[in-house]
A and B are shown apart, each in its own frame.
Chain A
């Protein structure tokens, strides 16, 4: 033991807490954001180094092995493709919650039956939230990675079953608060939380993933904060509170962007109603389509173009072709901006990352309100792989499942062009009346190939310029 190490530990924790808050503060602007990562790293290393000085540690071997093993797993997880970031994030929620749940479980068995009521209450909160986040996040990651079916799976009485399970887990927690010596009940409580996490995500579809990931983020943070109470660690409470607050703010943003409440996301099983109806209706109405040559001519004649990318663009890996289109049009003096819906992509801000990866400057990426204000003065709105976020039924059709959801008003531009494989409805299975309006042109084809042909037309001798 090093004399005075207690104080050193406390000081490293304090500095780490300050650095963590600064890290998030610096993240407010892309110009300073990378300082935020450095601050976080320094804080983390300081706190870990401080902890290693702790006099109660008798055995360093396993700590060292675990730290090395964690690093070996962490490096590839930090180097996944940008399209895979949502599932990586879900997986890291699961890992974070796993750590918290394991620590909580160890603490329970070390202390039981001598646990004060408040401590047992917080510990229960820690492992219930942690447990459901572990399995819930694994399920979400599985759905995002398409290992599991993405369509919502529902059955009669689902909400009752789920609510019932949660109530039983809480009931056990209450019992343990009164009588912590009933140690055999503890694994039951954790087990129910783990199953509950699975059941919670089963009915949730891919389009709701941004909200669900944010919500799981919030749970992971809150369970870490609860762990801070159990271990009497203020640093953990601070980090958990920051993470919880961040997840909560993002969840609220996402819910607002879809005009839905948390409960509706979690208990709603979105958009599985209309799938059969949409196909039949589409046959009856006529759509206008255009070739790459026509599309290139219209684009090069425009002054202002707004490109609306959706998850379909990422699936088709079309970002880099879109960048070439941006370059070709900008060279011709066309003002090109991107309109990003908050729920475009599979997690908050995902689309911005994909476009930044394709080297599109971030000041060209506008959020929904900015772009909608500009839309009536826009010559061409080009929709690539987005569907529901451009669906005017959200404004006009009170019967639509997405009615009231804020959308990008692409139909207010002079011309709308939609790149789409076919007339099949989008992820949520909702028909899009945008495709039948007079100023809309359908560009049928694969997003990457089609944008590629437009680029070739634009650069092919300037015949249409």
Chain B
């Protein structure tokens, strides 16, 4: 990573952190549990780094650790999206609920 990349990355981090704060502050406390499970699932995007490690096979260690990392991240993504959707499905307002 050269200096320009580094500065770019720092800008991206700074802006994303601000967006994160502003967007997440508006999430109703009602939905804080789904919020946590969803951000957790999104965090599993780290799987892309693991896929490259496992696929490039630059060393046996990297390939093994990469493969385990794919398993961990994939289970997070799959489990996280499923449970978030299950939770959100349950939230109904009294207006829509009454016949």
Residues of A in contact with B (beta carbons under 8 Å apart): 13, 16, 20-21, 23-25, 27-31, 33-34, 36-37, 40-41, 43-44, 47-48, 51-52, 54, 56-60, 62-63, 65-67, 69-71, 73-80, 82, 85, 88-89, 92-93, 95-96, 98-100, 102-103, 105-107, 109-110, 116, 118-119, 213-214, 217, 220-221, 224-225, 227-229, 231-247, 249-250, 253, 340, 342, 347-350, 352-353, 356-357, 359, 361-365, 367
Q: Is B9's CB under 8 angstroms from A237's CB?
A: yes
When the two chains form their complex, are residues B86 and A79 in contact, meaning their CB atoms are under 8 A apart?
Answer: yes
14 other contacts beyond A21-B23, A30-B28, A56-B52, with CB at 8 A cut-off? Answer: A33-B88, A44-B44, A48-B48, A58-B57, A70-B75, A74-B78, A78-B82, A78-B86, A100-B69, A118-B1, A229-B1, A233-B49, A245-B24, A250-B36
State A105–B44 Cα separation when bound (angstroms). 17
Whether A80 contacts B69 by the Cβ 8 Å rule is no
Q: How far is the CA of A78 from the CA of B94 in the complex (A)?
A: 27
Which residue of the partner chain, among A34, A78, A98, A364, contacts B72 with CB atoms under 8 Å? A98
A59 & B55 in contact (Cβ 8 Å cutoff): yes
Please, which residues of chain A bring their CB within 8 A of the CB of B43? 96, 220-221, 224, 239-240, 243
Q: What's the least CB distance linking A101 to chain B, in Å?
A: 8
Residue in contact with B30 in the complex, picked from A30, A52, A54, CB distance below 8 Å: A30
CA distance A20 to B52 in the complex (A): 21
Please tell me the number of chain B residues within 8 Å of chain A, measured between CB atoms: 84
In the complex, which residues of chain B have a beta carbon less than 8 angstroms from the beta carbon of A246?
20, 24, 35-36, 39
Known contacts A27-B34, A93-B40, A242-B20: A71-B74 contact under CB 8 Å: yes
From B31, B45, B79, contact of A33 by CB (8 A):
B31
**Shortest beta-carbon distance, B51 to chain A, in Å?**
5
| Most chain A beta-carbon neighbours within 10 Å: one of B9, B49, B62, B93 | B49
Q: Separation in Å of the A419 CB from the closest CB of chain B? A: 24
Shortest 10 CB-CB distances between A and B: which pairs?
A: A70-B74, A78-B82, A74-B78, A349-B32, A245-B20, A57-B55, A77-B79, A361-B94, A66-B70, A241-B16
